[in-house]
Amino acid sequence: MSFFSRPQPQPQEGPVAGVLAGGQPEAQVIVPRGHDDVDDRKLSSYTELKVSLHQQLLDMINLSVIDKMPPAEFRAQMGEMVRELLARENRPLNRQEQAQLVDDVLDELLGLGPLEPLLKDASVTDILVNCHSNVFVERGGQLHPTAVRFKDDRHLLRIIGRIVSAVGRRVDESQPMVDARLADGSRVNAIIPPLAVDGPLLSIRKFAKERIDMEKLIQIGSVPQSVADLLVGIVRARRNVLISGGTGSGKTTMLNAMSAYIDGRERIITIEDAAELQMQQVHVARLETRPANIEGRGEVTQRELVKNALRMRPDRIIVGEVRGGEAFDMLQAMNTGHEGSMTTVHANTGRDALARVEQMIGMTGFDLPTRSMRAQIASALHVVIQLERMSDGKRRLVSLQEITGMEGDVVSMQEIFRFRRESTDASGTIHGHYVTTGIRPKFVSEFVARGIEVPDRIFDPNHVLE
């Protein structure tokens, strides 16, 4: 094979010269970091140069050979080609600028193409690709269109394939949906035709480079100091916690922040579909589910992992999110000596969260009486935390409730704190404050027994929570 698609007076030949294609440039636009407006503003001189070099390379090489060459060898030879092209452009760049330009162009070829600038932009939290021609990002909780484009659906599918193959997964017509993660832990979901009607869809929830801890949550207004102190006490007192909220409401972030207060001497088992929990302790065993292979075999579900975790001598079990029958096994673990365990669930209210857990128990196939299921829930769970992403983009803890037992056939709950929304200003920012219901939770007695101090004044309805 030849590297060039047709004879060209271009850079030197070598093994890479076997990458010959004959195709069109795949990426039409590369946006500079931080660019998020679909308008006619001119790209910077640097970005124009990068686009020019990238498109020249794509005209010259055969993309199908890229994945067959050792990455180090390909990068070295492509680097030489970029430098020769750059010399022909006669641009006044210093050595550092040239090196950065080479790296950026190679990112296009070996990385995730047009998405690379967005992945490197620290202000972007979510990247949402709706087919090849529409890419949106989330910044500060708000969605914005971008100028990023893929050449066509085939180009987008190639990038998706590169992502999922890196973690041993696949996506094709026989398995058109996939959950995966990037090397930095960012969560990825892709769905392709025939399930996606208009073309491939890709969602990337970026993994925060800077870990968001409880202090940061207080700083950004997601939770007041008084409630944060209580959450720390709940973790240290080994209360079982269910964190509830909608998509993107900050459930995993809250779970990570709370888990930082688990005693480092305890053995923690984490169970996830796509590993993204950030445990700070030393004694952590991380488990991840596995999808079925191309023959439909080899699948390992969360429920199987929860069952196996019970044989691993855990002190606490943390399930990233319960979605099915594993909820029953999780409750069983909480009821049999693994206190202080935590998990999350998708639900709009604390009461809805318990109803969802009840439905999941029904997915186990056991014909359990309703009262028996609810008794399991009431006995296993102690605290339900409700989170919400509000219209201004901010994630807030909106309710903290304690489960107190059963009243007849109903699981009884009492709310300790809630966020009271007061107004919305002209810019869309929501204003409000946290209030306490005046109820002193029963688990405070456990605090006293364990030597955990929480001021009683935070339960006073006249106390201003800060």
Rg (CA), the chain: 26
Q: Measured between alpha carbons, how far is 445 from 256 in angstroms, rounded to an integer? A: 26
pLDDT digits (tens, 9 = 90+) for 328-365: 989 988 988 889 999 999 999 999 999 999 999 988 87
More confident residue, 64 or 465: 465
Whole-number Cα distances in Å, 14 to 3, 68, 197: 8, 15, 42
Mean pLDDT of the region 441-463:
87
Q: What percent helix, strand, coil does the chain show, rounded to 5?
A: 35, 20, 45
Lowest-pLDDT choice from 87-96, 237-246, 269-278, 432-441: 87-96
Enter the tokens of residue 245: 């909220």
pLDDT score of 400 more than 90 = yes
Instruction: Give residue 343's Cα distance to chain centre.
Output: 15
Of 417, 424, 455, give the one whose Cα is nearest residue 439. Answer: 417
Please, which pLDDT band fits residue 391 given cuts at 50, 70 and 90? Answer: confident
Element (H, E) at 58: helix 45-60
Q: Looking up tokens 């946006």, which residue turns up?
A: 31
pLDDT at res. 388: 95
Question: Is the pLDDT at 31 greater than 50, yes or no?
Answer: no
Average pLDDT across the chain, whole number: 81
Q: What confidence category does residue 230 fall into, taking pLDDT thresholds of 50, 70 and 90?
A: very high
Q: What percent of the chain has pLDDT over 70?
A: 83
Give the pLDDT confidence score for residue 4 in this predicted structure.
44
Pairs from 37-40 (Cβ < 8 Å, separation ≥ 24): 37/144, 37/145, 37/147, 38/145, 38/146, 38/147
Strand order in the sheet with 142-145: 142-145, 134-139, 126-130, 201-205, 187-191, 177-181
Tell me which architecture the domain covering 111-207 has in CATH: 2-Layer Sandwich (3.30)
User: Between residues 269 and 456, which one has the greater pLDDT?
Assistant: 269
The topology (CATH level 3) of 214-459 is: Rossmann fold (3.40.50)
The H or E element spanning position 423 is: strand 410-424
Give the number of other CB atoms < 10 A from CB of residue 147. Answer: 18
Measured distance CA(103)–CA(123) in Å, rounded: 21
- Asked whether residue 303 carries a pLDDT value surpassing 70, the answer given is yes
Alpha-carbon distance of 193 to 4, in angstroms, equals: 32
Among the listed residues 397, 422, 24, the one whose alpha carbon sits nearest the alpha carbon of residue 223: 397
Domain regions of the chain by residue span: 1-110, 111-207, 214-459
